[in-house]
Amino acid sequence: MRGVVVGTAGHIDHGKTSLVHALTGIDTDRLPEEKTRGISIDLGFAHLTLPGGDRISFVDVPGHERFIKNMLAGAGGIEAVLLVVAANESVMPQTREHFDICRLLGVSRGLIALTKADLIEPGQLEHITNEIRRLCEKSFLAQAPILPVSAVTGAGIPELKRQLALLAQEQSRRDRGSIARLPIDRSFAVKGFGTVVTGTLWSGMLRVGDTVEIHPEKRQARIRGLQVHGKAVETAAAGDRTAVNLAGVDHSEIRRGCVLTPPQLLEPTMTFDASLNWLAGAEIPSKRQGFLLHIGTAEVLAEVKVWREELPFARLHLPQPLLALPGDRFVLRRTSPAQTVAGGCVIDPFPPKRLNRAKTIERLNLLARADASRRVQMLVEEAHNGLRLEDLVRVTGLASDALLPQIQKNAALTLAGPFVLAKSWLAQRRERLVSWLKDFHAKNPAANGAPLSQARLGLEPNLARAVLENFAAIRVQGETIALREHRPNISSQENALLQGIERRFQQSGIQPPALDGIPRGALETLIKAQRLVRVSPELVFHPEAIAKLRELLGAHKGRRFSVPEFKAWTNVSRKYAIPLLEYLDRQHVTRREGDARVVL
């Protein structure tokens, strides 16, 4: 089943609500004050199921200029506009402003309804149509059909439904596979059900039983029930006008402007960079200035800093956290006089704060033109030590399932556990490692290598592993690292000393000499070269002694024995027996079972 969310737009008393009623049979004016005054004050909602099964969800907006913020709360979620112009009045101020808002929000399709057609003479129709065409020229509505209708007589309603059906058949830009986002336009309580919120599901899917997060408060709740077009469903998909029954949160804790998402994926921001499109005649501020920002269903005061007047880029500073993702459209309005002046598109919701103006503009130029793969690459390359996949989700708004193919097909990126790394970063880190090892070898020519813990240079284990693995220029042995071509450079005097120490241990067999008096550096060199074996902090043996011990135990394979028996076999005291047995346990030569051991 296909569907489309259609928003009405137009001047006050041009018949938007009456037209929606004629199409759907639903009166969208629900407030007592709306009934009394005969005008729409807040958003209204209705739906129409067409003969072929396609669905039209209507968001009916107020036309009075005093309620423009309510109109904007509804316009953010629409996919197409039904521009309503009364035939007896033609184009009026709010016709123009509503039309401008739709253009600024990136609405790309729609229809034009010429209402109250029964109140004019047939000869007047051409003049009014020409006025509407002049308003819409060079816009997304330039070729849209202008349909004369009457909500009173029903004239033109069948043709309008036919055109709406054609709209519903067009491919939706909503992405059901991305992260679910529901900007909330209403929050209320229903007796017997509790908290209910409504909105247009911008992307992704919601399911009964899901845990969700409410931004910017970051409160969690559980979906108890879902409704689409007044019918209970198990799943709501992108583009659906959706009512969500929530458990675990009171309706008074949720306001219009909040956004419902899956938990712990997205993060609100208080600063974002954007491209701006100023309306003709709007004064572009030369310094930081306050505007009303309308994004999604939210309205907040934002301070706007234009980077350079002749360029479209600006930074917006917010007094409170707000969920904004790359590609989100918004509108800016002045408070005095109240008027719409610009629209924009979010480029980066988490911009770096320490770039100068020139570098910021250069960066925004690149990001504004970048596809998903290039954007991910730029963000990863900017990061000090790559980015975790979860951080990429947060800064791009893309689900991990969508990010992974972008990373895997990008020759400049690689995955390292939970991290996404730039290969240029990897190459740079390896160059630094090689330089560090060259310096170490120059200062310690007799050493087999450097301690691995020092060579990791403070990197997180996943990052250190990425640097070391499959790096042909180095050699890692145990906890020692060296350049592959490095060979210890030992003087004849040092070599004589090492050979003398090694010979002492070789001749001592299974009862080695005490470590007191043996130069510590020489001892460590022999151990790292595997010419001696450390069994415990105080005991070091020659490898031949350990090999003979293994051979001796091999003759007793499978046998269970005690410490006294081991002492008898080896003719060593307990001072040596216990450390030797513990070492053999670690080497899986023996296995301890209570007070005894088994030869493996």
CA Rg, the chain, in Å? Answer: 37
pLDDT in tens, 431-446: 999 999 999 998 888 7
Closest by Cα among 242, 207, 240, 237 to 224: 207
State pLDDT tens for residues 535-592: 999 999 999 999 999 999 988 999 999 999 999 999 999 999 999 999 999 999 999 9
What's the pTM value of the predicted model, to 2 decimals?
0.80
Please report which confidence band the pLDDT of residue 354 belongs to, taking 50, 70 and 90 as the band edges. Answer: confident
Residue 458 pLDDT class (50, 70, 90 cuts): confident
Tokens of 212: 């969700």
pLDDT in the model for residue 1: 59
- Beta bridge partners of residue 451, listed in sequence order: 480
Tens digits of residue pLDDT in 395-417: 999 999 999 999 999 999 999 98
Euclidean distance between CA atoms 93 and 98, whole angstroms: 9
287 class by beta-carbon count within 10 Å (0-12 exposed, 13-18 middle, 19+ buried): exposed
pLDDT band at 26 (very low <50, low <70, confident <90, very high): confident
3-state SS, residue 339: strand
- How far is 403 from 493, CA to CA, in rounded Å? 60
Residue 189 predicted with pLDDT over 60: yes
310-323 residue pLDDT tens: 899 999 999 999 99
How is 226-279 classified by DSSP, letter by letter? Answer: EEETTEEESEEETT-EEEEEEESS-GGG--TT-EEE-TTS---EEEEEEEEEEP
Secondary structure of 478-502 in the HEC alphabet? CCEEEECCCCCCCCHHHHHHHHHHH
Name the burial class of residue 145, with classes exposed (0-12), middle (13-18) and buried (19+) by CB atoms within 10 angstroms of its CB: middle
pLDDT at position 162 over 60: yes
pLDDT-wise least confident of 23-37, 211-225, 228-242, 340-354:
23-37
Residue 386 has pLDDT above 60, yes or no: yes
Over the stretch 90-115, which tens digit does the pLDDT of each residue have? 999 989 999 999 999 999 999 999 99
Give the distance from CA 423 to its chain's centroid: 22
Q: Is the pLDDT of residue 39 over 70?
A: no
Mind giving me the DSSP string for 202-229?
A: -BSEEETT-EEEEETTTEEEEEEEEEET
- Residue 33's pLDDT is 61
Examine the pLDDT at 247 and tell me if it is beyond 80. yes
Instruction: Give the integer Cα–Cα distance in Å for 84 and 91.
Output: 9
Residues 6+ apart with CB under 8 A from 323: 181, 215, 216, 259, 261, 266, 267, 268, 269, 296
How far apart, in whole angstroms, are the C-alpha atoms of residue 280 and residue 96? 12
pLDDT digits (tens, 9 = 90+) for 57-86: 898 887 666 667 777 887 888 889 999 999
Which pLDDT band, with edges at 50, 70 and 90, does 31 fall under? low
Mean pLDDT over each residue of the chain, to the nearest integer:
90
Residue 491 has pLDDT above 80, yes or no: no
Calpha distance 422→369 (Å, rounded): 20
Contacts 24+ apart (CB under 8 A), 517-523: 522/494, 522/497, 522/498
Sheet with 560-561, strands from edge to edge, namely 560-561, 596-599, 590-593
Give the full edge-to-edge strand order of the sheet including 413-416: 387-388, 419-422, 413-416
**Long-range Cβ pairs for the range 580-583 (8 Å, 24+):** 580/510, 580/535, 580/539, 580/549, 582/536, 583/535, 583/536
364 class by beta-carbon count within 10 Å (0-12 exposed, 13-18 middle, 19+ buried): buried
Stated as kind and residue range, the H or E segment containing 543 is: helix 543-554
**Among residues of the chain, what percentage have pLDDT more than 70?**
97
- Residue 534 pLDDT greater than 60, yes or no: yes
Run of H or E including 334: strand 329-335
Instruction: Find residue 372's DSSP bridge partners.
Output: none
Q: How far apart are CA 255 and CA 253, in angstroms?
A: 7
* The pLDDT of residue 41: 60
| CA separation for the pair 226, 176 (Å, rounded) | 16
Phi then psi for residue 132, to 5 deg, are -65, -40
Answer for the pair 137, 119: CB distance below 8 angstroms, yes or no.
no
**Residue 138: count of CB within 10 angstroms of its CB:** 6
Q: What is the dihedral of CA 100, 105, 108, 110, to 10 degrees?
A: -60
Residue type, 165: A
Nearest to 177 by CA among 401, 405, 375, 327: 401
